[in-house]
Amino acid sequence: MTTSAISALSPLDGRYAAKLAKLRPAMSEQGYMHRRVQVEVAWFIALSDCGFKEFKPLSPGARTYLLGLVKNFSEIDGTAIKTIEKTTNHDVKAVEYWIKSKFEGRPELVAAQEFVHFACTSEDINNTSHALQLKSGRAQVLLPKLDDIIAKLREMAHAFAEVSMLSRTHGQTASPTTVGKEIANVVVRLVAARDKIASVKLMGKMNGAVGNFNAHLSAWPDFDWEAFSRKVIESPEPLGLGLTFQPYSIQIEPHDYMAELFDAVARANTILIDWSR
């Protein structure tokens, strides 16, 4: 079977594929793998700076190389991870093994390779990767598109400010208004919805299998793992993740922020549907 639009299982990859093309780098499985690699690398580099005698600080060259794995992550790399997954039958473990495979020929990294994914549960990598995907999609696609629409509507509101039109109330004609004023109503609503989307804090947790830093404290009980986790999550990219620290969780990050974000997007969509009608 060909892979044309009519053979797609979903309109997202069929009829609307061109409309969503800009989201693919962030929201595809390729994008998901990319963010998993980013999280693993950030955690690994940060661990080297903890002062543990078992893991000396990485050299500048090693850091540059590791960050290069993230920056230059390609579809070929994603395919390699999928190949490893056929053996591991575990997607996050496949990412871990792929990173370790990139240490070959680099003694400094080979010596420290068991610190890749140290004390992490898969959700530590997945929840932060999801947040990074949403962060990228919001910043690079969603908000710019909303800003374009708002700018166009604001322009139209001024252009048609003196064009009269009938209003309606209780299902019948009422006092007159102007086209510009009615468009301005939409602009005000859409700006408020846009600001709600932008203000949602994207959360991340890295606290182990049940959220209690159990493995971390077993290895180094006197180390402040909560402060360390917060630093990795909240420090700016590329050495951190640039997210908001989630201090309390079970194994799974609660995802309440996702519900808040998606609801904010839904409200913006409702306003746009109202405008279209």
- pLDDT on residue 13: 86
As a whole number, mean pLDDT of residues 219-246 equals: 98
pLDDT at 8 over 90: no
pLDDT digits (tens, 9 = 90+) for 83-94: 999 999 999 999
pLDDT at 7 over 90: no
Inter-CA distances, 162 with 152, 181, 198, 274, Å: 17, 9, 33, 22
pLDDT digits (tens, 9 = 90+) for 114-134: 999 999 999 999 999 999 999
Q: Left if phi > 0, otherwise alpha if psi is -120 to 50, otherwise beta: which for 228?
A: alpha
The dihedrals phi and psi of 223, each to the nearest 5 degrees, come to -90, 140
pLDDT digits (tens, 9 = 90+) for 154-170: 999 999 999 999 998 99
Percent pLDDT > 70 in the chain is 99
pLDDT at 5 over 80: no
pLDDT confidence tier of residue 1, bands split at 50, 70 and 90: very low
pLDDT confidence tier of residue 222, bands split at 50, 70 and 90: very high
- Give the distance from CA 60 to its chain's centroid: 27
**Which pair of structure tokens corresponds to residue 166?**
């009938």
As a whole number, mean pLDDT of residues 42-47 equals: 98
What architecture is domain 120-277? Up-down Bundle (1.20)
- pLDDT on residue 3: 61
Q: Return residue ranges of the chain for CATH 1.10.275.10.
A: 18-118
Q: What is the CATH number of domain 18-118?
A: 1.10.275.10
> CB 24: neighbour CB atoms within 10 A?
14
Instruction: Give the mean pLDDT of the chain.
Output: 96
pLDDT at 2 over 60: no
Q: Which residue has the higher pLDDT, 205 or 15?
A: 205
Q: What is the pTM of this model?
A: 0.94
- pLDDT on residue 156: 98
- pLDDT on residue 232: 98
d(CA 3, CA 240): 39
As a whole number, mean pLDDT of residues 25-40 equals: 97
- Give the distance from CA 29 to its chain's centroid: 12
